[in-house]
Amino acid sequence: MTATGLTVTPTMVRRLARHFGTPLYVYDAAAIDRAVRELGAQLPAGARLYYSVKANPLPEIAARMRSHGLPLELSSTGEVQTAAAAAALDGAMVTGPGKSRAEYRAAIGSGVRKFSVESATDHGNLERAAAECATAVDYLVRVNAPAQGRAAMRMSGRPSQFGVDPETFDSDTPLLRGGRFARFRGLHFFPASNVVDESELLTSFRVSAAAARGLVDRYRLTMLELDLGGGFAAPFGTASPRHHYPRLAAELTRILNEQLPGPRDGRLTVSFESGRYLVGGAGVLVTAVRDIKRSHGKSFAILDVGINHLGGMAATGRILPSRFEPTRVGSISTAPSAGSAAPFAGTLAGPLCTPADILVPDAAFDELAVDDLLAIPNVGAYGLTAGLTDFLGHPAPAEILLDGDRIVSATRRSATRISLPPLPPRQTMTDPAAVPEELPRIGESD
């Protein structure tokens, strides 16, 4: 536990596990506060930092980020609802491709006034939705600019569903002019994610700033905000310390002075986004050993957590690493183990009915017994939300946010089914009147 830098102690973990059961995600508010301060100190003076809610959408975490002055970056109707429930919509921006008019209307109706658009169609949907709501909104245009480096997840500089290619703006100039209700505010870049090497991160920001300068000059843009995205890396599932970028603030300031002098006189806001850096190190996943067995000469410890609850969705770019680094933190049982604990060397597997549910193929412990508790560090970002939560129907883990020894929130997600409205009387599936002009999206039928 100490390797993660958390204020959560093994004694606290055992107490929480015995009360709430396992598996259990525990988030440390003090670690979140520290990460916000550390990343802010590594950015140029006056920069705006968005919290990417996709990393961890716990409402109390969203509210805490807003209390630090961080607006939220949202990418779905569900995240908008989360931010609204946390009273954290002030200054928020909705991003992502394929947004429907209905989704835009829902976000505007909730109070969102800033968006990132990804195409001419996306821009048209925003303009029409804003007109239908009779509400003026601002937008940034996401640019699929050239990219360099070897980031863990490349987001631009290649054929992509994200952003507008710079060479297509000649045919899409309405994107840069704005409309009556949707007003052009600036440009949005996000070339890469999870960039460990500081030089590569600086290169990605430098290329984006140069691309922004080129568009500003070519189309004589009045740009009020330049969002350079993120890419700030954090370890996942191992006890490694969080990455630091000691040259970032000074080098970025120099780059911005060269390319875009506006930030220095207050005419231009430069923004960044982060999720995993801010919350990744603040979370630990606590799991209990349910069984220890031998099979064909090899030992297996069966845990009550698997890929359903820990980053099992490879599409996030968070493919499971070759090994997590869990730490034994005692037992969920208050009774002595009666000598059942023994050295263990073998596989840590989850409870799912699939051979793919392997967390650590070659774990080793000085001793391990049924009912022992293991803590997996640095899983506050893309842990539960990137898992396969509905696969095989196991209950979701409890999620606990601690501030020191005080429980801020203790909740458990629950997936429910809702009944959809029937077709109107006397209409059939072949009746054209039964199909609305715009089909509803998930969550809009009720």
- Confidence class of residue 336 from pLDDT cuts 50, 70 and 90? low
Same domain as 250, residue 104 = yes
Q: Give a yes or no: residue 421 inside a domain.
A: no
DSSP code of 195?
Answer: B
Same domain as 185, residue 95 = yes
Q: Give a yes or no: residue 46 inside a domain.
A: yes
Q: Give a yes or no: residue 260 inside a domain.
A: yes
Residue 429 vs residue 230, higher pLDDT: 230
Q: Is the pLDDT of residue 236 over 50?
A: yes
- Confidence at residue 166, expressed as pLDDT on a 0 to 100 scale: 77
Mean pLDDT over each residue of the chain, to the nearest integer? 87
- C-alpha 381/C-alpha 273 separation (Å) is 14
Same domain as 295, residue 168 = no
**Prior bond to 159 cis, omega within 30?**
no
- Confidence at residue 356, expressed as pLDDT on a 0 to 100 scale: 86
Q: Name the helix (H) or strand (E) containing 335.
A: none
> Residue 2: which residues within 8 A CB-CB, separation 6 or more?
none
- C-alpha 47/C-alpha 250 separation (Å) is 13
Rounded mean pLDDT, 220-238: 93
Q: Give a yes or no: residue 41 inside a domain.
A: yes
Please state the pTM of the whole predicted model. 0.90
Same domain as 111, residue 201 = yes
Same domain as 294, residue 266 = no
- Confidence class of residue 316 from pLDDT cuts 50, 70 and 90? very low
| CATH for 399 | 2.40.37.10
* Predicted confidence (pLDDT) per residue in 275-288, tens digit: 999 999 999 999 99
Same domain as 293, residue 275 = no
Q: Give a yes or no: residue 235 inside a domain.
A: yes
Beta pairing class for 342-349 and 358-368? antiparallel
- Per-residue burial over 333-342, b if 16 or more Cβ lie within 10 Å, else e, is eeeeeeeebe
- Confidence at residue 157, expressed as pLDDT on a 0 to 100 scale: 47
Q: How is 103-128 classified by DSSP, letter by letter?
A: HHHHHHHHT--EEEE-SHHHHHHHHH
- Confidence at residue 151, expressed as pLDDT on a 0 to 100 scale: 47
- Confidence class of residue 443 from pLDDT cuts 50, 70 and 90? low
Tell me the one-letter amino acid at 194: N
- Confidence at residue 3, expressed as pLDDT on a 0 to 100 scale: 43
Tell me the one-letter amino acid at 162: F
Contact 227, 272 (CB under 8 A): yes
Tell me the one-letter amino acid at 296: H
* Predicted confidence (pLDDT) per residue in 380-406, tens digit: 999 998 888 888 888 899 999 999 999
Q: Nearest 10 degrees: CA dihedral of 164, 311, 361, 334? A: 160
Rounded mean pLDDT, 165-192: 86
- Confidence class of residue 265 from pLDDT cuts 50, 70 and 90? low
| CATH for 242 | 3.20.20.10
Tally of domains within the chain: 2
Q: Look at the block and give the residue holding tokens 């893309």.
A: 382
* Predicted confidence (pLDDT) per residue in 188-198, tens digit: 999 888 899 99
Same domain as 205, residue 75 = yes
Q: Give a yes or no: residue 1 inside a domain.
A: no
- Per-residue burial over 187-222, b if 16 or more Cβ lie within 10 Å, else e, is bbbbbbbbbbebebbbbbbbbbbebbbebbeeeebe
Q: Is the pLDDT of residue 255 over 80?
A: yes
Same domain as 360, residue 213 = no
Same domain as 342, residue 405 = yes
Task: Mark which of 224, 245, 279 sits at the end of a domain.
Answer: 279
* Predicted confidence (pLDDT) per residue in 125-160, tens digit: 999 999 999 999 999 999 998 765 554 444 444 556
Rounded mean pLDDT, 233-249: 92
Tell me the one-letter amino acid at 14: R
Same domain as 264, residue 386 = no
Same domain as 60, residue 152 = yes
Task: Mark which of 228, 245, 279 sits at the end of a domain.
Answer: 279
The domain of 166 spans 29-279
Same domain as 319, residue 272 = no
- Confidence at residue 360, expressed as pLDDT on a 0 to 100 scale: 92
Q: Is the pLDDT of residue 184 over 80?
A: yes
